[in-house]
Each structure stands twice: as structure tokens, then as C-alpha cells.
């Protein structure tokens, strides 16, 4: 009997163990590549898409650009791009985009003990939101895109 490698022997022994004068050996009709098959072959069309990672509600998602340093301690810098999801219900502690007076602003939303928009920079004062006047929340900031170079 020619020598067989350990793995191959197991397969053979399974086939031969059948108590029969005939033994059937499975035939693999596929052609075999001579050479090393690319381990990536089966995965070629799965590219990673940043949208998948960052955007849960594409129809309700907008991008805005930050101007100024009022959110510096929240890791939000001048020139950063923010991903804003309008479909999320803003909760206490969320970073939100709100309509304030005549412009759009990014601040931390606090609902307790009172509703206010809080800058994350000690140089700025929190902005109380009067319950009668209210403010429009454009959406919740879900991600910050900050370029390092």
C-alpha cells in the first residue's frame, strides 16, 4: 500500500470500512488549480462601506461642517464634518444640531433639571431653552469626521 498522509488516510478508511467487496470513492468533478488558491476569492464583493458603519437612516441623515470651538471638549473641532441623524429622538446628553435664533448650532442637549443647550468648552455659557419658545432639533450627531492631516 502506498503511503498516505494522515488526513487522507482518515478519508480512505471511512470509505474502505464499508463492509463490501466494492468500494466507492467519491469523485470531485471540479478542476483543481495547480497553485495556491487566493484565500480572498470568496470575499471579493464584500467591500467595507463607511456608510454602513456610520449611517443608520440614510433618508434622514445630513452632513454639516463645524465652525468655531464651542464643542472642543467633546472632541468636535473647527472644520470637522458631523453626521446628523434626524430620525433619532434626541435624549438627555445627546450632541444635537439645533436651530438657535437665526442659525444652526451644535451643542449638548440637557433635559434635566431644565432644558438647555450646553457648549462643551468652559469659555461659553449654557443656553437655556424656554419651554414656551422651544427650539427645533434638526437631528442627533452620531459621528464626527475629523481629519488629522
Partner 1 sequence: MYALVDCNNFYVSCERLFRPDLRHRPVVVLSNNDGCVVARSPEAKALGIGMAVPHFQVRGIIERNNVVVFSSNYTLYADISARVMTILDAMTPAMEVYSIDEAFLHLPDEHAQLQQRLQFGHKVRERLLQWLRIPVCVGIAPTKTLAKLANGAAKRDVACGGVVDLCDPLQRQQLFRQTPVGEVWGVGRRTQAKLQVMGICSVADLAGSSPEKIRRRFSVNLQRTVYELNGQPCFTLESSPVNKQQIMCSRSFAQRITAFEDLREAVCTYTARAAEKLREQGQSAHQVTVFIRTGTHNATERHYSNSGQRRLDFPSNDTLALVHAATSALQSIWRSGYRYAKAGVMLTDLCSEGEVQRGLFDATSAQQHRPALMQAVDAINNSGKGRVWFGGQGIKEDWRMKRAHMSPAYTTRWEDIPTVT
Binding to partner 1 in span 74-133, by CB under 8 A: 81-82, 86-87, 89, 97, 99-106
Q: Residues 30-33: contacts with CB within 8 Å, 24+ apart?
A: none
Cβ–Cβ under 8 Å, residues 112 and 118? no
Question: What is the x/- site pattern for partner 1, positions 23-62, by CB under 8 A?
Answer: ----------------------------------xxxx-x
Q: Which of 20, 125, 136, 147 binds partner 1 (CB under 8 A)?
A: 136
57 vs 92, beta carbon nearer partner 1: 57
Q: How far apart are the first and last CA of the chain?
A: 66
* 119 closest CA partner among 48, 68, 55, 58: 68
Task: Check: CB of residue 82 under 8 Å from CB of residue 63.
Answer: yes
The catalytic residue positions are 70, 107
- Contact footprint for partner 1 (CB under 8 A): 57-60, 62-68, 70, 81-82, 86-87, 89, 97, 99-106, 136, 138
Amino acid at each position: 500500500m502506498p503511503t498516505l498522509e494522515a488526513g487522507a488516510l482518515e478519508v480512505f478508511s471511512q470509505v474502505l470500512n464499508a463492509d463490501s467487496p466494492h468500494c466507492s470513492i467519491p469523485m470531485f468533478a471540479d478542476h483543481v488549480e495547480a497553485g495556491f488558491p487566493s484565500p480572498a476569492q470568496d470575499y471579493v464583493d464584500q467591500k467595507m462601506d463607511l456608510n454602513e458603519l456610520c449611517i443608520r437612516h440614510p433618508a434622514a441623515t445630513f452632513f454639516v461642517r463645524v465652525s468655531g470651538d464651542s464643542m472642543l471638549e467633546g472632541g468636535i473641532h473647527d472644520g470637522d464634518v458631523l453626521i446628523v441623524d434626524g430620525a433619532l429622538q434626541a435624549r438627555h446628553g445627546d450632541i444635537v444640531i439645533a436651530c438657535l435664533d437665526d442659525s444652526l448650532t451644535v451643542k449638548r442637549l440637557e433635559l434635566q433639571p431644565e432644558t438647555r443647550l450646553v457648549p462643551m468648552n468652559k469659555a461659553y455659557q449654557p443656553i437655556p431653552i424656554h419651554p414656551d419658545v422651544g427650539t427645533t432639533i434638526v437631528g442627533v450627531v452620531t459621528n464626527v469626521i475629523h481629519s488629522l492631516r
